[in-house]
Amino acid sequence: MSVTFKDVAKLAGVSTQTVSRVTNGSSRVAEKTRERVDAAIKELGYVPNKGAQILGRARPKVIGLVTIDIHLHGASLIANGIRKQAKEIGFGISLAVVSDHSFEKIIAAVRDFKAQRVEFVIMNIPLSKEEAETLVSDFSAIHFVFIDVPPQTQVNAVYGANYEGAKQAAELMVSLHKKHLLLITGPHESSASELRLQGWMDVLKKDPNIKIVNQLEGDWQAKTGYQCTLQALAENNDIDGIIVGNDQMALGVLRALNEANLKVPQQVSVIGFDDSSDSAYFYPPLTTIRQDFLLIGKRCVLMALSMAEQRTLLHQQEAIVTQLIARKTT
C-alpha cells in the first residue's frame, strides 16, 4: 500500500497542510517541525507526487465561454471560432449555456469558472452596461471579453459592426424605392439587436416617403419571424419591404409571405442579417448582411490573452466589419 500525506502527518504529529508546506519547500514552517516531517517521510519512504502538486498550483489552460443557446447559428459559429483559436494556442474550452436572460444564472456560471480556476472567460450573452461592469468588478481575477454589450461599456469587447451593417440593409431598401416597411428586431435586451434597429432608423427616417407600418420583436428564431409577419400582414396588406434582425427569423418571414401568396421580391423584398450558411439556399436565396462569426470568436480569445499579458486597465473594443450580400429576395 502506498504511503500518503495522512500517514506522514500522523507519524510527525502535524496536519496534512503542514506536510504539504514542507514538501513544497514553503518557508512558513518552523525548523523543528520541518525536521519531524522530514524524519517521518524518510522513515515511511514517502515520495511526494510532484505532478499532482504542480497541477494543484497551476491554473488550467482553459477558455470559459458563457453563451446563449448554441442551436442559434451565430452562437454556434462563435463558439467554434473560440474553440479553434483556443486549440491553436494549446487551450481547451469549457462551456456554460444560459438560455434565458437571468443575471443570477450568469453569475452562477462565472462562479463555476472561478471555482475551476479559469482565468479567461468570454461572454456571448446580452448584458447591460451595469451587468457587464459588475462582473468585471466582482471577479477581478478573471479576464473577460464581451460580445453583446452597449458600446459605451467599460469592458473589453469584440462584436460585429451591427450599426454599420444595419445601415447597409436600410440603404438597400431605400435604393429599391420601398415605401411601406415592416421591421422585425431581435430581443430588446440584446445590444446587437438595438444597434441594428438604430442603424435602420437612422437611414429610413431621412426619407419622408418611407412609412414604417410596424415594428415587431422576435427572439432570433424562425418561428417568431413567421408569427410577426403573419401579424403584420393581418393588420396591413401594403407592406412592400421587410428588414429582419437575423437570417433565422427571415426564414420564417419567407414562409409567411409564401402562405399569403405574396411574391418575393416582386411584391415584397426581404433582407436579413448574418449570412448564415443556409441563407443562400432559402427560396428565394436571401439577401443579407454578412458578419464573420468565426473571426469574432477567434479575436475574443486573442484579446483575452493579450489583455492578461499587458496587465493594463485600458479597455479595448473591436468591431468586425460586415458586408452586404445581395441575392434574390431583393
Domain boundaries, the chain: 5-57, 62-159+293-320, 162-291
pLDDT at 18: 85
Residue 118, pLDDT above cutoff 60: yes
- Using alpha carbons, select from 195, 158, 134, 190 the residue that is nearest to residue 82: 158
pLDDT at 130: 97
In this chain, the answer to whether the domains covering 5-57 and 62-159+293-320 adopt an identical fold is no
Fold (topology level) of 5-57: 434 Repressor (Amino-terminal Domain) (1.10.260)
- Residue 143 near residue 120 (C-beta atoms within 8 A): yes
pLDDT at 309: 74
Query: What is residue 175's three-state secondary structure?
Result: helix
* Burial group, residue 237, by CB count within 10 angstroms (0-12, 13-18, 19+): exposed
- Residue 116 near residue 139 (C-beta atoms within 8 A): no
Render pLDDT for 278-290 as a digit per residue (tens, 0 to 9): 999 999 999 999 9
For domain 62-159+293-320, which architecture applies? 3-Layer(aba) Sandwich (3.40)
- Residue 240 near residue 213 (C-beta atoms within 8 A): no
Quote the CA–CA distance of 123 and 149 in Å, as a whole number: 9
Indicate the pLDDT class of residue 42, thresholds 50, 70 and 90. Answer: confident
Q: What is the mean pLDDT of residues 273-278?
A: 95
Phi and psi angles of residue 71, each rounded to the nearest 5 degrees, phi first: -75, -15
Go through 116-146 and write b for each residue having 16 or more CB atoms within 10 A of its CB, e for each that does not: eebbbbbbbbbbeeebbbebbeebeebbbbb
- Using alpha carbons, select from 300, 21, 327 the residue that is nearest to residue 156: 300
For domain 162-291, which architecture applies? 3-Layer(aba) Sandwich (3.40)
Render pLDDT for 122-160 as a digit per residue (tens, 0 to 9): 999 999 999 999 999 999 889 999 999 999 999 999 999
Residue 26, pLDDT above cutoff 70: no
Phi and psi angles of residue 270, each rounded to the nearest 5 degrees, phi first: -135, 135
Determine which helix (DSSP H) or strand (DSSP E) holds 174, and give its type and residue range.
helix 162-175
C-alpha distance from residue 184 to each of 110, 133, 224, 269 (Å):
32, 29, 9, 13
